[in-house]
Amino acid sequence: MASNKAALVKELGGLIEVETIYTWVPGSGELLVQVEAVSFNPIDAKLQRSNLFQSQYPLIVGFTFAGTVTSIGPDVTSVKPGDRVVVARWGKAGGDNKFGALQKYALALEQNTLRLEPEITFEDASGVIANLATVVSALNIYMGLSLPPVTGKAQTNGKRILVYGGSSAVGGLAVKYATDAGYEVVTTSSPANRKLVEERNATHIIDHCQPKEDLLREIRAHGPYEGIFEAIGSRVTTQLMVELLQETGGRFFSTSPSPGDDRVPGNVQKKWAGYSETLVSQEENRELRGWYMERYLPEALKNRSVWPNPALWLKGGLNSAQEALDLLYDGKVSGKKVLLNPQE
């Protein structure tokens, strides 16, 4: 096996440095994966540049990846060397560099791994596994919405939700997932990404590029809403939700904390959580986790009933990791899912 290399963040705010590191040996319940697709999320860029999560350095970021199993540890039964897999870095793996995506060979916990059928691409699988878990947790656990069927679509239930950011990686999945569960979904998009959002069968798509007063008026006109899911998690979108709700009061669920959250008025509640961790790590959600990992996700990937945004592959392998993080941090990714292959 070739030596391992990783993209390291050595200090808070430090630029990526690519270095040769130890090649890990899988322990009990672990497997070693040759990483062939890293799917980036905005949280990766925030981990590099902010101290929101009290990270330890040096740090290997990256929470979702796909590739080929090279070896397995004791007690692993669901996969074998040579299998194609997708992995999410949940639970105890979250704070351990051995499990970070941005390296040529990463460890994975068997419980966080799904073996892939030959027809499922690495880019689709890595773009869905964690982001869709976020959607399942936010909509079903936190918002109390109904599950969709494992296959097909539920009958319309007459209830309406707002997903702000329908062309974002998480927002797009939320639109399709909630629609399949029978909800009418009102969402937002720029004109440039409207076709992308239309493919996910939203009931109404609102142009978020129009003047703010018109945007808020149109969002209100399509309500009332059973729930509000704000899928961008920025200072700007938080303030917009505050303005939407401040007259009547209410709550919305967001994908991320943001600067200024401490100034949200008392009659408006911004709810945020490590959604996917809630789904996979809390004992009371064991049944829902099993439904997601063992039934819904395999079927959704096989039938492509949900799918990620179109891939934006960066050339250069790990040497392009900083470019990917910069694109996400600067908000320059729209309607795309950024990926790289560490083997290049």
The tens digit of pLDDT for each residue in 268-280 reads 999 999 999 999 9
Reading the block at residue 333, the tokens are 């990714």
Q: From 266, 271, 218, 226, select the one nearest 244 (Cα to Cα).
A: 218
**pLDDT for residue 344:** 96
Half-sphere exposure of 36 (CA within 13 A, CB side): 16
Residue 53 has pLDDT above 90, yes or no: no
Average of per-residue pLDDT across 55-82:
95
Q: Are 104 and 4 in contact (CB under 8 A)?
A: yes
Distance CA 157, CA 83 (A): 41
Q: Are 25 and 79 in contact (CB under 8 A)?
A: no
pLDDT digits (tens, 9 = 90+) for 141-173: 999 999 999 999 999 999 999 999 999 999 999
Residue 331 has pLDDT above 90, yes or no: no
Lowest-confidence segment of 49-58, 175-184, 235-244 by average pLDDT: 49-58
CA dihedral for 255, 259, 260, 266, sign (positive or negative) = positive
Q: Are 240 and 216 in contact (CB under 8 A)?
A: yes
Distance CA 88, CA 82 (A): 19
Residue 50 has pLDDT above 90, yes or no: no
**pLDDT for residue 285:** 97
pLDDT band at 201 (very low <50, low <70, confident <90, very high): very high
**pLDDT for residue 1:** 64
